[in-house]
Each structure stands twice: as structure tokens, then as C-alpha cells.
Chains A and B, each alone.
Chain A
Amino acid sequence: MESNSLIINLKDISFSYSEDKLVLDHLSFHLHRGDRIGLVGPNGSGKTTLLHIIMGLLRPSSGRVELFGKPANEEKDFRAARRRIGLLFQDADDQLFSPTVLEDVAFGPLNLGKSPEEARDTALKTLARLDLSGFENRITYKLSGGEKGLVSLATVLAMDPEVLLLDEPTNGLDEDTEEKITDILKGLNLSCIFISHNLDFLSKCTDRMYAMSNGKISLDEALVPHPHIHAHEFGRLPHEHKS
């Protein structure tokens, strides 16, 4: 693989919130261009922390972060990288802080230096892409949970990132919205890391699955065939399920 395809390179990262427990324990991780990675692991295993370290929101106590082939140590290094990496937070109320949808989606593009007209244009196009046309003047705090999820995704996509980091994007969404988000994410030609407890979603949207536990990360490659017990109407008749 070419060396310039290495987008995120974490070497030997350690991090802890309190002295007695390491959340990340000498962890190393790579993301190459075009990789679509799913991240699973129990609560508190450090998945969100890992994404926040990549974005420079948290600084590791030891280890090195390299983004787009350059070491990232200071706020200014991360600031440059944040223009190219989009992070979607777990709670949409954290992401959506502007009074109206349009302004929230335009916030990123404006920060990237676009003129108000360009930013408005980008925002409207992104909303249309996510089937949210007509939402631009809605008040953000009055949106439903599913709408908030979709608009949050729009705020990140409007910055046209090269890498997408999503922290539990399907959490708390109903089936229809989840399906919609799955379809959108499948259609994106981006490198990405998705945190989720929803294996069904991950298997649709990612190529590889990593598991985190005890501050370490490991590739979960083995395909394990396994039977399911399930119930539905007419289940007693002989039938087949398509995978």
C-alpha cells in the first residue's frame, strides 16, 4: 500500500481519565484511505475516547498521533486536520447548537472560509442529499430524535470531509431512520470509522470490524457461522432465509 494512503496513524497511545485506570493502553491503530472500519466493544472500553484523541479533543498521555502523514501534537495541527475529518457526536443535542437547521449546517462551511452565499448553497445541497429539503428553517430543538440524527449527519457532511468518524449513529433511531442512515452511509465514498453496538448496521456499512477491550484494539476477522433462533408468523412451515 502506498505510504500516502495512511490517513490516521496512532502509535502506542495511552490515555486515562483518572490515575488508577488506563482507558487506552499502548494502543496502535491505522486507517488507510478507503478503509471502512467498524468499532465494537463494551461500554467504557474507550471507543469514544479513541475518536476524541484522533480529533485532538483529548491529548494522549503518551504515544504519537499522525494525521495525513504529519505528526499532530498541537492545537494548530489538529485544527488543520479537523477540516478533513468529520466527527459525529453521540448526542445530537451536542452537535446542533444553532437556532435553525440551515444555520447549523452552514456553520462548518462558514468556518472553512466560505462566503455566506456559498455556505447557504452547500447547506441546502447537503440537506437535499439527505432528503431533508424544507427543513432549513426548522428550529433545531424542536426536531424529533430521528430528524436530529439526520440533521447532525448533514452538519458533518456539509464540510465535505475525507474521513468520517461516527459515534453510535443509529443509537435511539427507529427502523426507518436507521435504514435511511444506513443507505446514505453505504453510498458515501469516504474512509470511515463507525462506533456501534448494532452489528447488523456495521456489517452493512463497514468492511472490517475491530473490537476494543481493556484499552486495546484487535481486528476481528474470523467469520463464524452460527445458528439463530428466531420467531415469525408461519415459522412452523419449512422455509429458507436469504442472507
Chain B
Amino acid sequence: MIEEQFSTGESFVHGLDPRIKIIVAILFSVVVAVSSNLLALLPALALSLFLMALTRLSPRKVFYRLLLVNGLILFLWLLLPFTYKGETLFTIGPLVGTKEGVLYASRITVKCNTILLAMIALLATTPIFTLGHAMSKLYIPDKIIHLFLFTYRYIHVIFQEYRRLTNAMRIRGFMPRTNIHTYRSYAYLVGMLLVRSYDRAERIHRAMLCRGFSGKYYTLSRFSINIGDILYLSLMLAAILGLVFLQWRAIA
């Protein structure tokens, strides 16, 4: 289900303290998300690519991940250049593409890919439960962390339940078609999944109570920061400040 195929590796980035990675990922994505100028965004993209290179992940696999998101961005390219007002850049038949529209679409494309690359390079290179623990060490509220870890643990179980139900439908000759029977059956399927998940949540909570759970989630892991972590954090902070400066200079 969730394979976490990037989470194991021997690279320098894999060995970094997960708390540092979370901090850098958050700061970096916020700065990129609010930057509006390509003069700041393009260096940010270069930085993301550099971070990616440090992870030594297979470029092909990363490319396929990016493809998923860029599929959505493709639709923006089909719409934005023709719907944005501004200077005419090109015409296709009756359609007029504007310079502003193209710039706007490029900014979104660069931003998305930059943030995504950074997320893959920083967060996907950490096992999910380690991320959860690092979050708790960063004083992120327990409830959010519980939600995060439980979603990870049980999405697989719910998926199996989903497969069992669809198999049960299939062996009795169910074929999805465009008719009310199909819609009703799918509605039952979704409803059943919700009810079952709710029941399961209830049972898990009971099992936890039986083992002395009282709302606080203790963890076994201890993290330690070494000189490499500090170096990485300082360099990244400097780079992020640099991006802020570039954006500020571009709009000033």
C-alpha cells in the first residue's frame, strides 16, 4: 500500500536528524509558496534539485512521482495562458495566449515541482514513524501525530477491507456500469467501509485502554544532533534567507 520506497538509503540525507529535515522542509516550502518572482523561484528549484542529488535516489523513480503531479499542472497550461488578460504572446486559431498567463502557469509549475522535490528529498527519505516521533519532539500536538501515525498504520487494513468487499462483489458477477445499480452498490461499499473503520477504531481504542493507554503516547526513540546536522541546518537556513532576499529585491 504505502511502500516508502525512498525511506531507506545510505546517503548523507538519510542519516540526518529528522527534526532538522522537518524544519528545513517547512521553512523552505513556505518561502517558495509565497515567492512570486521567477528570479527567486528558479534558484529555489536549483536548490531542490541539489538536495535531491544529495539523496542519491533513483532519478527515474523520482521522475515518475513528479509526473503524477505534473499531470494536473498540464490542465493549468491548457487553461491559464488563454484565460489570463495581458499582452498577446501567440495565437492558435481563435485562441489568444497572453504573456502574463504563460508566466503565471510557469510560476505554478516551478513552485509545485520545487516544493515536491524538497519534500521527497527531505521527508520521503525518513521512515514515516520516525517522522511521527520527530514531530512529537518538535512539540507538534499529540493529536495530530496520533492521526498521522494511525492513518499510516490503518490505511493498509482499510484498503484490505476494501479489496475484500470488491472481491465479494466481483465473485457475484458485479460489473461497474453507468446505471443506478452500480451507483447504489458503490455507495454501499463506501458506507460499509466507513462503518467498519469506525468499528475498528473502537476496537483499537479498547485494545489500547487495556494496555494502560491514558492519552499520552510515549516513544522509544531518541534523536541526537551531530556536527553534520548543524552544518546542514546552517547552510539551508542561509540558502532560504538568500531566497527571501532575491524575492524581496525583485518586488522592491
The answer, yes or no, to whether B173 is at the interface (CB within 8 Å) is no
Q: How many residues of A contact B (CB 8 A)?
A: 34
* Residues of chain A at the chain B interface (Cβ within 8 Å): 52, 55, 57, 79, 82-83, 85-87, 89, 91, 93-95, 97-100, 102-103, 106-108, 110-112, 116, 119-120, 140-141, 155-156, 159
The answer, yes or no, to whether B211 is at the interface (CB within 8 Å) is yes
**A10 and B222 alpha carbons, distance in the complex (Å):** 44
Give B117-148 as 1s and 0s: 1 = Cβ < 8 Å from A's Cβ atoms: 00000000001110010000000000000000
Question: Is A111 a contact of B220 with CB atoms below 8 Å?
Answer: no
> In residues 201-234 of chain B, which contact A (Cβ within 8 Å)?
203-204, 206-214, 218-222
**A108 interface neighbour in B127, B129, B153, B212, Cβ under 8 Å:** B212
Question: Is A100 a contact of B218 with CB atoms below 8 Å?
Answer: no
Tell me the smallest distance from the CB of A170 to a CB of chain B, in Å: 19
Question: Is A87 a contact of B210 with CB atoms below 8 Å?
Answer: yes
Question: Is B204 a contact of A55 with CB atoms below 8 Å?
Answer: no
Question: Is B219 a contact of A79 with CB atoms below 8 Å?
Answer: no
Given A97-B208, A103-B129, A141-B157, A79 contacting B203 (CB threshold 8 A): no
Q: Chain A interface secondary structure, helix, strand, loop or mixed?
A: helix
**A95 and B218 alpha carbons, distance in the complex (Å):** 17
- In the A-B complex, the 7 residue pairs with the smallest Cβ-Cβ separation, listed nearest first, are A111-B212, A99-B129, A110-B218, A108-B211, A94-B203, A87-B210, A57-B206
**B220 interface neighbour in A97, A120, A156, A159, Cβ under 8 Å:** A120
Question: Is A111 a contact of B207 with CB atoms below 8 Å?
Answer: no
**B200 interface neighbour in A52, A94, A107, Cβ under 8 Å:** A94
Chain B residue at minimum C-beta to C-beta distance from A106: B220
Chain A residues lying within 8 Å of B244, measured Cβ to Cβ, are: none
